[in-house]
Amino acid sequence: MPTVLLLGAGSDMAIAIARKFAAEKYNIQLAARNTAALEPLQKDLQIRYGITATTHSFDATAFDTHPAFYTALPVQPDITICVFGYLGDQTKAQEDWTEARTIIDTNYTGAVSVLNVVAESYAAKKAGAIVGISSVAGERGRQSNYMYGSAKAGFTAYLSGLRNRLFRSSVHVMSVQPGFVNTRMTQHLTLPPLLTAQPEAIANAVFSAVRKKKNTIYVKWFWRYIMLIIKLIPEGIFKKLKL
């Protein structure tokens, strides 16, 4: 049975992805800071889907621990999905470096740190798939969330570079660009229903895109075109908009 490693397994999106892969008979490695909180999900996956699920302590911003974390996994995963992220508070981050830094460290530095380790291992064995959950927020900086957006932009660029490099090693790297997703991270926001995806939709899209070895997917699909339009707006006009 193949194994999937979920980095940041506590989120709504991670739960949906874990269930989707477990239903398709993958063993699941759940990694997050608080492993005790992962236990109900671990049991749920094993009971519902008859697979093996394990929990592993992982802190995205404890960069030094990442190599040891990966080596200590009981099985080397066939697919690694980097789900963790931190939306943060844009206004606070403008004045408070600690907040700004947490946003950057979680969404960018932490992801790069851990995926570097995974990438080396996959490159050496010439197999494996890496999936990074980035965000459409990274496609153009906007005043309302450019801290998060710029970190995700860095992450998206990292994934595309990694994809380019590992192509010759037969390692598949996929970027996922979700638009609005209905999760705990966004539950204080009022999101337009038609533009908002459920975590289960992300999970299904990720699963089938990994199978088809897609490079970049947007969920929902029309976000590709929404972002295309947003990117086409000339900067002279864009800077005057309240986005």
Partner 1 sequence: MQKRLANWGNYPAIVSEESSFTQEDQLRRFIGENTHLIARGNGRCYGDASLGEHSISMLKYDKILDLDTDNGILETQAGVTLDQILDLIVPKGWFLPVTPGTKFITVGGAVASDVHGKNHHVEGAFSGHIIDMDVITGDATVTCCSPELHADLFWATCGGMGLTGVITRVKFRLKKISTAYIKQAQIKAKNLEEVIRLFEEYKHYTYSMAWIDCLQKGDSFGRSILIVGEHANPDELNARQQASPLKLTPKRKLAVPFNLPSFILNTLTVKAFNWLYYGKNIKREIHNVVPYEPFFYPLDAILHWNRGYGKAGFVQYQFVLPLEQKDGLVAILKRISDKGWGSFLAVLKVFGKQESLISFPMEGYTLALDFPVRKGLFAFLDELDEIVLQYGGRLYLSKDARMKQEVFWKSYPHAKRFAEIVARYNSGNRFISLQSERLSLTK
Q: How many CB atoms lie within 10 A of CB 229?
A: 8
- Structure tokens of 203? 């999970």
CB of 228 to partner 1, least distance (A): 28
189 binds partner 1, rule: CB under 8 A: yes
Instruction: Give the span between the Cα atoms of 214 and 172, in whole angstroms.
Output: 8
CB closer to partner 1 out of 44 and 59? 44
CB 78 within 8 Å of CB 3: yes
Closest by CA to 206, choosing from 56, 53, 38, 26, is: 26
> Going edge to edge, which strands form the sheet with 172-178?
53-57, 27-32, 3-7, 79-82, 129-133, 172-178, 216-219
Q: Stretches 68-76, 107-115, 135-143, 188-196: which one binds partner 1 (CB under 8 A)?
A: 188-196
- Given the residues 86, 148, 158, 218, select the one marked as catalytic: 148
**Which member of 13, 30, 41, 206 binds partner 1 (CB under 8 A)?**
41
Closest by CA to 82, choosing from 102, 63, 101, 106, is: 106
Q: How many CA atoms lie within 13 A of 211 on its CB side?
A: 10
**Which member of 37, 124, 228, 233 binds partner 1 (CB under 8 A)?**
37
Contacts of 82 (CB under 8 A, 6+ apart): 7, 8, 111, 114, 115, 130, 131, 132, 133
Instruction: Give the span between the Cα atoms of 21 and 78, in whole angstroms.
Output: 12
Judged by CB under 8 A, the number of residues near partner 1 is: 16
187 binds partner 1, rule: CB under 8 A: yes
30 binds partner 1, rule: CB under 8 A: no
188 binds partner 1, rule: CB under 8 A: yes
Instruction: Give the span between the Cα atoms of 130 and 80, in whole angstroms.
Output: 5
Q: Stretches 62-70, 84-92, 147-155, 184-192: which one binds partner 1 (CB under 8 A)?
A: 184-192
Closest by CA to 5, choosing from 54, 63, 65, 66, is: 54
162 binds partner 1, rule: CB under 8 A: no
195 binds partner 1, rule: CB under 8 A: no
CB closer to partner 1 out of 187 and 208? 187
8 binds partner 1, rule: CB under 8 A: no
**Which member of 2, 47, 120, 125 binds partner 1 (CB under 8 A)?**
47
Give catalytic status of residue 108 as yes or no.
no
CB closer to partner 1 out of 71 and 144? 144
44 binds partner 1, rule: CB under 8 A: yes
Residues labelled catalytic:
148
Contact positions vs partner 1 (CB under 8 A): 10, 12, 15, 37, 40-41, 43-44, 47-48, 184, 187-191
